[in-house]
Structures are given as C-alpha cells and as structure tokens.
Amino acid sequence: MLIMGVAALLASQPSPKHIFAPTSFWYHPIPADAPLNSKSADYAAEFTRQIKAYYGHAAINLSSYASPVYVVGPNAETFKVTEWDGLHKGYTDPGLADQWQAVPIPAYAEAADGTDQEMTIYQPSSDRIWEFWLARKVDGKWQACWGGRMDHVSHSDGIWPGHYGTTATSLPFMGGQITPEELRSGKIDHVMGIALVDLDNSGVFSWPATRSDGSNPNHLPNRIPEGLRFRLDPHLDVDALNLNPVAKAIAKAGQKYGFVVWDRAGAITLRANNPKAYLLADKKNPYLSLFGGIPDWKILEGFPWDSLRFLPMNYGRPPGSG
C-alpha cells in the first residue's frame, strides 16, 4: 500500500513552473529583442570549443550528476540529517544543523549515482525543499556534506539564500532540471540549468548566481562566468531541424527561456530529474519510452549550439537585489 501511494504521488510530480513564485526568473520568457552581451560572439565560440574539446557533444545527465526529487506528503516521517566533512574543511556549518533537524525522507530514498550523490526532498504541504550533496546513509542514519532547506518555496525567487544549496551557484535543482513529464508533453516552461567545463574564476559570476566554483588560473580570455544566461536564436526554425523530439522540446525552451550556467562539470551537460525517484517507487523508468533506447549523450545530436546568443551580465536582476 505504501509503494502504491508513493507511486500515485510521483505520477503527478509538479512541473518546476509550479514550485517557486511566478515572479521568479526561472519562469520569465526572454523577449525576442533582448540585448546581447558585448562578448556574445566570443562566448559562443568558447562554448563551441568546449563541445569539441570535451567528448564532441552535450549530454543529459540522468542517473548520475542529476538529483532525484522525492515528493513527500504532509505526514511523512522526519529524520535528522547530520553534516559530515566530506571536503575536509575542519568545521561544520551551524545553519545546516538547524535546517536538517527534521527532514521527511522516504524510507526507500537513495542519493544519485556518481561522486556528487545529490538528493532533493520536496514537501508541498510545508512549502519546503531540502537539497543534499554527498548524501549517504551510515548505520541507518542520513548524512550529507552540503545543501540546505528552503522555506516558503512558493513565494521564493528560486535562489538559495546565503551560501546554501547544492549547485556551485546556489541555484536549486528543481528550478533548472528537466522533468520527464515536461518531455512527455513536449513543452518546457522554464529556464534550464547547464554545466560547463572551463569557466571564469570564482570571483566572477553573474546574477542569478550568488557564488561560483569556476577556475581560470591562467586568465584565459572569453571564459564564461557562472550564472551567465544564454539562449538559442529566437528566429531559428526548430521544427525544420532534424532533431530528436526531446531535443526539439529543449531547443524551443532554449529559445523562449534560455539556459543558465549553474555548475562546473567534466562535460557540457543538462540535468533531468533522476529516474531513481520513479524506479524506487513503481519500477518504471520514464526515460525508457521517452528516449527510445537512445543513449542520453546522443539525444542532443545535431542540436544547434552554433546559434547561441549570450545575454548581458546580471540580466534580469531585480533593482536593489544586490
């Protein structure tokens, strides 16, 4: 009965459009005449260089380096999550101890595969999200190295407060990950998060990022800063392109809402909701039918990355927001 109840809840996982406040940058279409960054052409060339240098394609992360999202009900049992020093900092954060006192983690939950071991818990009834990085279960008790708890999510701007959150920019997974429900409908109504490999130094970042893990020790020119937003040419005829239907949905969202650089990775990658949240509840992987057996690294084959348009630094930042 528990598994069936969870499966029913997961079957109606909310779109990111219904998570944060309607005024959040995640949901604002980019006007066709939006200004371009003065270095747009240089950044586009740098993006193309990274595509060629790192595997020759962009991929969609699924089981690794993409967070499973566990949606829980109002009566879910809560557990204390403790911070472990996975980065050997020599100290812990008192804020996390407070935020992780009572987390409604399903008994079947698992963190993502891969070295980052991400996990997201969303409880609509309490209007809260919890994120975890390097999450693990030790002797039956949950630990994580970093993350946070976001309160009043439906009124939030969709940016983690302070230095919390799992991505290097403090942009939450639930804002920029792609869901199988969206891909099934063929419509993605939000900005998409994207990870690049070579980025500008951590001291250089653009709103909506509040921090960065970029590194450019040799001060090479045209390195893209974290937080920068870009889009596909809005005049491009996507329907005329020979693309997989999943790639077409992403391309159309890339024209309307664009992408935000939210992390650093070993390859250029988008993230989709990790199928673990589905598999552990009802044993059905939604991407099997959506991808039709095509590897996640091949879904974006032929994607028009040569039509990128980069937006100015701090594009869309509300006045007075810092």
102: left (phi over 0), alpha (psi -120 to 50) or beta: beta
Of 9-23, 43-57, 69-83, 228-242, least confident by mean pLDDT is: 9-23
CA-nearest of 220, 93, 231 to 164 is: 93
Percent of the chain with pLDDT over 70: 94
Q: Is 33 helix (H, G, I), strand (E, B) or coil?
A: coil
**pLDDT, averaged across the chain:** 93
* Res. 248: pLDDT tops 60: yes
Provide the phi-psi class of 283: left if phi over 0, else alpha when psi is between -120 and 50, else beta. Answer: left
pLDDT (0 to 100) of residue 283: 66
Contacts of 228 (CB under 8 A, 6+ apart): 37, 43, 206, 260, 261, 310, 311, 313
Which pLDDT belongs to residue 10?
A: 43
What pLDDT score does 11 carry? 39
Termini Cα distance of the chain: 49
If you average pLDDT over residues 284-292, what whole number do you get? 93
Residue 56 has pLDDT above 80, yes or no: yes
pLDDT digits (tens, 9 = 90+) for 161-219: 999 999 999 999 999 999 999 999 999 999 999 999 999 999 999 999 999 999 999 99
Average of per-residue pLDDT across 222-234? 98
Measure the CA–CA gap between 107 and 194, rounded to whole angstroms: 31
Distance CA 13, CA 70 (A): 9
pLDDT at 18: 76
User: pLDDT class for 14, splitting at 50, 70, 90?
Assistant: low
Question: CA distances (Å), 59 to each of 45, 176, 265, 284, in order?
Answer: 19, 15, 11, 22
- Confidence band for 284, pLDDT divided at 50, 70 and 90: confident
Q: What is the pLDDT of residue 17?
A: 55
Q: Are 176 and 262 in contact (CB under 8 A)?
A: yes
Strand order in the sheet with 119-123: 69-71, 119-123, 128-133, 146-150
